[in-house]
Structure formats: C-alpha cells, structure tokens
Amino acid sequence: MISLIFRVLRVADGYQGRIRGAAVLSFLKSFCAKAPFVVAFFMISAFLDGTVTKTTCVFSGIALVACIIVQSLLQNAADRLQSAAGFEIFADKRKQLGSHLRKLPMGYFTEGNIGKISSVLATDMLFIEENLMMVLGDLMSYLFSAVIFVIMMFGFNPWMGLLSLVITLIMYAIGEAMKSSQLKYSDERQAASQKLTESVLDFTEGIGIIKTYNLLGEKSKTLTDSFVYSCERNLEFEEGHAPWARAVNLTYGLGSTAMLALSWFLYQNGAMNIATFIGFLFFTFELFGPLKAFYGQITRLTVMNACLDRIEAVFEEKELCDNGKDILPDSTDVPEIEFRNVTFAYDKRNVLNHVSFTVQKNTMTALVGPSGGGKSTIASLLPRFWDVKDGSILLRGKDIRTVPLASLMENISMVFQRVYLFQDTVYNNIAMGRMDASEEEVYEAARKARCYDFIMALPEGFQTVIGEGGASLSGGEQQRISIARCILKDAPIVILDEATASVDADNESQIQAAISELVQGKTLLVIAHRLHTIAKADQILVIKDGKIAEQGNHESLIAAEGLYHNMVLKKATVKGFQNKV
C-alpha cells in the first residue's frame, strides 16, 4: 500500500516540493483536528477532579476555537498547494507523452496502437489527473491521523496503545490483501476499457465499410460485446472489493469494541482513572475511522496503479533514435538512394532479406510484384517508418540513421492511397506542406494539383473548413489536395503508392495530371500497379518473398521471360493489371 502511494507520488516528480508542503500541512491539520478531543479530555479530568475554574473554561474555549481556526487555515493552505497540481502535472505529462509519441517510429501508429494511445490519453490520464491530488491529500491525512491516534493511546495507557497497534496492524494486513486482489481486477478493468475504446474507434472509422457490406449487425454485436465485457469487469472489480471492505469494517467494529472492553477492564481494576476512561470514550469510534477511510481509497489507488502501468508502457516504447548530425549534401556522385543488404522484420519473421539496389537522382523506380512481397515495406523504410534490422539505407551517401529526422523528412514527400486531411480550412491543409509558403505559392500548388477550380466552387473557397479526415470531399478531391500539399513541399524524393481503387475516369485523369506535376524533376519510388507507369520506369524491381526477384527496365524484363514477363502476360498477379493491360 505504501509502495503504491510512493509510486503515485513519483508521478509528481516536478511537483514534489508542493506535495511535501501539502503533506506537512495535512499532518498539522490532522493534529489540530484531534486537538479538541484532548481539550475535552482535560476539561473532563478537571471537572472530575473538581479543579474546573472559570479561567480553565475560558482557556479551553479559546483553545477549541483556535484549533478550529488553525485547522481550517491549514486545510485551506493544503488545498491551495494541492489544487490544480494534478491538472498541472498531467498537462506536463501530456506534453511529455506528445513529445515521446512524436519520436516513435511511424510504424507504431499503424499497429492497432491508436486505441491504446486514445485510451491512455482519454481514460487513464484523466483518471489520475482528477484523483491524484485528492487521493494523495486524503491518504496522507488518514495515515497521519491513524499514527497520531496510536501514539495518543500509548500516552493514555501502554495496554491501550498495544491493543490499538495490534488492531491497526490487522487492518493493515487486510488492506494489503485487499490491494493485491484489487490490483488484479483493476488491470483487467483498464484493459477492458482499452478494448472498448478500440471497438468504438473501429466501428466509427469503419462505419462506411460496415454499412456497404451490411455488417451493421455483426459489428454492432462486437461493439455490444465490448460494452458488456467492460461492464462485467467493472462489476467484478466492485464485487472483488466488497468482501475486503466488509473485513475492514468488521475489524473496525470489533477493534473499537475490544478497545472499549479493555478500557472498562482497566478502569474496573483501577489501572485507569475515571477521567481517562471517560476521555477515552471520546476516542473509541474515532480511533480506527481514519484507517477505515484509508482503505476505502484503495480502489482508486489500485485503478491509478493500473493506469500508471499503461501510461508507462507507452512511455517505454522505444523512440526512434534521432541524434544524427550528418548534413545531407545537395548533390553527389553517389546514387541518390541506396539500399545496402537490407534485412527487416516486423517481429520475428524476416519480411525483407538482403535487399540491395540503387536509385539514381531524378529517375523513376517502380516496385512491382505479388501481394505481400514487401513493396510497401521497402517504401516505408526510406522515411524511417521503421529502422532496418540489418544492412543500411543511404541517401546521397549518408546512412539515413545518421541524418536528423527532420532533414530526412524535408527530402521526402509521400502520396499514399489513403489520404488524411485535417479538420481545418482547405488552405491550411495545403499550406502545411510548407508553412512559410506565400499565398500565391499555395494557390499555384492547388492549380498544379488540379484542385483550384473545385476549391473555388466550395462555399468559402480556400477558407472552407473540411470535415474530419476530409469527410466532406470526394476521394479524388481529397487525393488531389494531398498532392497539392506535396507539390508545395517540393521535396526532391517522392514515394508514391499508386492507387488501386478505381475512381471515375475524370477523377483518374485529374489525379494522373496532378501526379505528373508532382514528380517532374524528382526521384520517384513508386509502388506501381499501372502498366503504363511501370513501362516508363527507368528501373523496375520485382519484389517477391522479401527479395528482389528481377531487376531491369520493361524491355529487358520482358525479354528475360521471367516472373515480370509472366505477370504482364497473364495479367494476374499485380493488383490492377487486369484492367490496365
């Protein structure tokens, strides 16, 4: 239990001073909160001894009022120290997480981790943020109160002190058992919450496909199952807590009774005077109250612990090393891009094996081959979505791991089949290609990408705010805006994943025209599906089973009558060939 408190305390690393200050104030406040009992005890003693005077009463009254005032001042000061600290701590944590996420390999975000990240940001962090300071403040106050009471009991009578210590230790043991059981349930509860977030994201993002394929019933069931699962874990969590809470309550009740019985016994045997006995009656039911309340907080503390596990798991994800200092030369005699004996695995299974090839500046290299061969993987290694397992990738003679990531990304533009536009104006969606671009440059990029006319036809032209993910535009329009962004960026290397989905003829020719503008004078690496793109490539790499099966230009590969020749002739293996050949 104490270790959990320390773990939660460590979260507040930069705010330790405040927390310590709040702890000291909580201690003093707890002390003041108990002071009226002591005053009452002395008053009763004086009354029974017949030594009560007017002065005693006045001083006792003043002492009581002073205790209440000081207690409320201390409470106020502690609250001021604590309040907002939870929010400030988590504002910092969110910033740290944001900066950490930025440094993770891009590939991390394609592995179904989006649900995990959303759940950590929206559920786990929020829970700790809202509970951290309150729970810590309460726990410290309860703990101090319990310690003060036990010490007071020793002050009354050693036997009373001993019994209160034994009961406190019994409650501590039950609390520890409760903690272990709750930890298990809280892990499952938070995992269920993550699963629920993933299901909701999956459902909302895929709603178009779900409706198209009439999967509403099936997917709704998956979603409902996640709700039910989460609800069951929550109930299990609450039910798991109940027996232990009853055990704490029982110990509290029996312990108080035992203390009462002992004090009566001591009084009867003359080991305790009447004043102490009556004074003690004031304490009896307050004695273990703070401990009971302390263990009442275990539920929240264990959930916080599970939340911390999950937050830390994201923080532990290995960042992409970005300490390279090499400066990329503008031009060299060496090839623009070189894959040198590259081996890569997503997990254990190698997806690329000893792949070597070079790409000359301002040429087009087409990656073709059967599905799952490794084309996209090759393309994603160049912008360091992942790092190679073995071998190296060179850009103008420099290993890309030795070049600052920002400078690498300045050199590469990517056009994917799946486009993402931000919920922002059309203008800003294009301008983010190069933030210092002038208005005219943004318009020019839009013209080149064949989107100027349709943008001007929008209700507010370039200032029209488009829906999340570009929802209010057609697929072809979204694609062209993303190409305009790349044209504005004007990076010397373009990675293009050629569309396989069929768009209408007009859109297709517009996209092709936009791409032709984009790739002019660029080094182009294209995952190609169209024969006319492939045929005009300077170099074709046929990728199969993670290796380069064939390499050459269209004519030489056709003449070789190998895999490429068969692919073209049989029109079967490369996606989209059927329609194009």
Ligand X SMILES: Nc1ncnc2c1ncn2[C@@H]1O[C@H](COP(=O)(O)OP(=O)(O)OP(=O)(O)O)[C@@H](O)[C@H]1O
Binding site for ligand X (CB under 6 A): 107, 110-111, 346, 351, 369, 371-377
Pairing mode, strands 523-527 and 539-544: unpaired
**Nearer to ligand X by C-beta: 60 or 376?**
376
How distant, in Å, are the alpha carbons of 363, 382, 405 from that of 414? 16, 11, 15
In single-letter form, the type of residue at position 174 comes to: I
Q: How far is the CB of 399 from ligand X (least distance, A)?
A: 22
Least Å distance, CB 525 to ligand X, is: 12
Which C-beta is closer to ligand X: that of 3 or that of 371?
371
Please report how close the Cβ of residue 287 comes to ligand X at its closest, in angstroms: 59
Angle at 553 between CA 548 and CA 555, to 5 degrees: 125
The CB-of-368 to ligand X minimum distance in angstroms stands at 9
How far lies 530's CA from each of 69, 367, 500, in Å? Answer: 82, 11, 9
Of 304, 185, 202, give the one whose Cα is nearest residue 236: 185
| Alpha-carbon distances, residue 288 vs 134, 249, 291 (angstroms) | 21, 10, 5
Question: What burial class does residue 168 get, using C-beta atoms within 10 Å of its C-beta: 0-12 exposed, 13-18 middle, 19+ buried?
Answer: buried
* Min CB(353)–ligand X separation in Å: 12
Long-range CB contacts (within 8 A, 24+) of 351-358: 351/377, 351/546, 352/377, 352/378, 352/381, 352/546, 352/547, 353/545, 353/546, 353/547, 354/391, 354/547, 355/391, 355/546, 355/547, 355/548, 356/391, 356/548, 357/539, 357/541, 357/548, 357/551
Among 391, 393, 415, smallest CA distance to 402 is for 393
CB 314 within 8 A of CB 190: no
**CA 191 remoteness from chain centre:** 13
Q: How far is the CB of 116 from ligand X (least distance, A)?
A: 15
Is the Cβ of residue 162 or residue 563 nearer to ligand X in the bound state?
Answer: 563
Question: CB 120 → ligand X: shortest distance, Å?
Answer: 20
Smallest distance, Å, CB 255 to ligand X?
Answer: 57
Smallest distance, ligand X to C-beta of residue 401, A: 20
Q: Which residues contact 8 (CB under 8 A, 6 or more apart)?
A: 128, 132, 135, 136, 301, 304, 305, 308
Task: Provide the angle, in degrees to the nearest 10, between the axes of the packed helices 158-205 and 298-316.
Answer: 50
**59/519 Cα distance (integer angstroms):** 91
Q: Which is nearer to ligand X, 111 or 424 (CB)?
A: 111
What is the Cα–Cα distance from 67 to 341, expressed in whole angstroms?
78
Q: First and final CA of the chain: distance in angstroms? A: 70
Provide the residue type at 143 as one letter: L
Closer CB to ligand X, 347 or 555, in the complex: 347
28 vs 367 by CB, closer to ligand X: 367
Question: Measured from the CB of residue 571, what is the shortest distance to ligand X in angstroms?
Answer: 16
In the bound state with ligand X, the residue whose beta carbon lies nearer, of 319 and 545, is: 545
Compute the least distance from the CB of residue 524 to ligand X, in Å: 17
Nearest approach, Cβ of residue 500 and ligand X (Å): 8
Rounded Cα distance between 201 and 418, Å, is 17
Beta bridge partners of 340: 392
Which residue lies nearer to ligand X by CB, 372 or 461?
372
Helices (H), 104-215: 114-119, 125-156, 158-205, 207-212
**CB 480, min distance to ligand X, A:** 23
CB 46 within 8 A of CB 342: no
Q: How many CA atoms lie within 13 A of 478 on its CB side?
A: 20
* Of 193, 171, 195, 188, nearest in space to 247 by CA: 171
CB neighbour list of residue 269: distance below 8 Å, 6 or more residues apart:
none
Phi, psi of 369 (to 5 degrees): 140, 170
Instruction: Please state the closest distance from residue 536 (CB atom) to ligand X, in A.
Output: 20
